[in-house]
Amino acid sequence: AGDPDWKWKFTVAGMYRMEFNLKAWTYSITYLGELPKDPIKVETLFMVGEAAPNGWNLDNATELTKESEYVFSYTGALKVGEVKFCEIKDWNAKFVRPEVANEAITKTGVANNKIVYTVGPDDKWKVQDAGQYKITLDLQKYTIKAEYLGE
């Protein structure tokens, strides 16, 4: 009926399943999860930070290998220290950052593999074990994977 015009109010954005039984006059609503994020579309990705091969030198930032439309990787040495990733060599641009500040990269990987793409806050990963790594960023799934390859 149109009067009164009652509506459902969702207080959390996301995907839902709504089921209505019109014979029994019942309904159920189930939260299914967050809305999918648009993939981060970039042609290049660079790594900077004291853990990176070229340190904080943005002009000489280490370029990652583009493996597919949204997957970038770096295989090589990382030192102990901070690291983050950018599309363009501009300190004011968006960076790929950890979802949680100071997320550790260790021989066992990354505990929280979620990434964000933002100007700030200036969160970075902290490499705690120096060595050879394969770092893989999936810009469609918003994830990072760190595989320790040895000394």
Distance of alpha carbon 108 from alpha carbon 110, whole angstroms: 7
Distance of alpha carbon 49 from alpha carbon 52, whole angstroms: 5
pLDDT tens-digit profile of 65-108? 999 999 999 999 999 999 999 999 999 999 999 998 999 999 99
Q: What are the CA-CA distances from residue 23 to residues 2, 16, 18, 137 (Å)?
A: 19, 22, 16, 49
Is the distance from CB of 59 to CB of 48 less than 8 angstroms?
no
Task: Give the pLDDT score at 95.
Answer: 97
Task: Give the pLDDT score at 2.
Answer: 66
Nearest to 82 by CA among 113, 149, 128: 128
